[in-house]
A and B are shown apart, each in its own frame.
Chain A
Amino acid sequence: QKEVEQNSGPLSVPEGAIASLNCTYSDRVSQSFFWYRQYSGKSPELIMSIYSNGDKEDGRFTAQLNKASQYVSLLIRDSQPSDSATYLCAFRTHGYQKVTFGTGTKLQVIP
C-alpha cells in the first residue's frame, strides 16, 4: 500500500462548480498535512496546510482533515479555469522534515 493515495484523475468540473479532491494516507502518526498545486511544466507550490481535525478555509479553498479515517480533502469553490492543475497531497510526521507526496490528482476546469 502506498503511503499516500490519490486518484490520478483527470477530474473535470465546470467553471463555477465545487471541485473536491481526496487523499488517504497510511501513516497513523502523521501530523501535518499539505496541499500543493503544480501547473504543467512548473514546480509545486504550497496552497494549504492543516494540522488538526476539521476544516480550514482560505479564500476559495477549504482543507478537511479526519485523522481517525486517515483522510484529507481539498475543496475548491467557484472553480476557475486557472485552477486547472495537478494537486499533490502530502504529509509530514511531527519532528521530522521529510514530506511524503502523493502522485497527484489532475483537475480540469471547463469554461
Chain B
Amino acid sequence: DARVTQTPRHKVTEMGQEVTMRCQPILGHNTVFWYRQTMMQGLELLAYFRNRAPLDDSGMPKDRFSAEMPDATLATLKIQPSEPRDSAVYFCASGLVQGVSTDTQYFGPGTRLTVL
C-alpha cells in the first residue's frame, strides 16, 4: 500500500531554533507539494517540485523557509529561525504528472509543529 511518509509527526521547538521536516513521496511520483494548514488560513501551498526541480515557491516566506529535493525519494522543508507564527500542520503531497497536470495529490500524515 503505497503512501507518502513524513517525519517527524510532531515537533515542539523554541523560537529561533532550526526545524527540518522530511517527506518521502510515493515511489514513481514526479511531483511533490508542501502545504501548511492552520485554522485561520486553511491549507496553503508553500512550494512544489516537478522532477525534483522547484516550480513555484511563491507561497513560502523566503527569508526563513527553504525547500529542497536532494533526490527523488526525499523532499525537505526547513525553517530557520522558527517563530511562534510558524506553528501549524505541514503536509507533503505527491502526484504523478502525465501530460500537463495531475488531478490526484496523495497527502502524507503531516508534521504538527509547535514553536514556543
Residue ID in chain A nearest B95 by CB atoms: A97
Does B108 reach chain A (CB closer than 8 Å)? yes
CB distance from B5 to the nearest CB of A (A): 11
Query: How long is the Cα–Cα vector from A94 to B102 in the complex, in angstroms?
Result: 10
Query: How long is the Cα–Cα vector from A80 to B91 in the complex, in angstroms?
Result: 27
Query: How long is the Cα–Cα vector from A32 to B33 in the complex, in angstroms?
Result: 18
Q: Are A32 and B42 in contact (CB under 8 A)?
A: no
The one of B33, B56, B100, B103 that contacts A95, using a Cβ cutoff of 8 Å? B100
Q: Are A97 and B55 in contact (CB under 8 A)?
A: yes
The one of B56, B100, B107, B108 that contacts A98, using a Cβ cutoff of 8 Å? B56
Does B98 reach chain A (CB closer than 8 Å)? no
Does A92 reach chain B (CB closer than 8 Å)? yes
Contacts of B45 in A (CB 8 A): 98-100
Interface residue tally of chain B, by bracket? 20 to 34
Q: Which 4 pairs between the two chains have the least Cβ-Cβ distance?
A: A103-B42, A43-B107, A101-B43, A49-B103
Best-buried of B43, B45, B102, B109 by chain A (most CB within 10 Å): B43
Best-buried of A45, A96, A97, A98 by chain B (most CB within 10 Å): A97
How many A residues touch B, CB cutoff 8 Å? 21
Question: What 1/0 flags go to A86-109 for Cβ under 8 Å of B?
Answer: 001000101111111111100000
Query: How long is the Cα–Cα vector from A94 to B44 in the complex, in angstroms?
Result: 19
CB distance from B65 to the nearest CB of A (A): 17
Q: Are B97 and A97 in contact (CB under 8 A)?
A: yes
Q: Which residues of B25-49 are within 8 A (CB) of A?
A: 31, 33, 41-45, 48
Given known contacts A45-B107, A97-B31, A88 and B43 CB-to-CB distance under 8 angstroms: yes
Q: Which residues of A32-78 are within 8 A (CB) of B?
A: 32, 34, 42-46, 49
The one of A42, A46, A94, A100 that contacts B100, using a Cβ cutoff of 8 Å? A94
Query: How long is the Cα–Cα vector from A43 to B94 in the complex, in angstroms?
Result: 13
Contacts of A46 in B (CB 8 A): 103-105
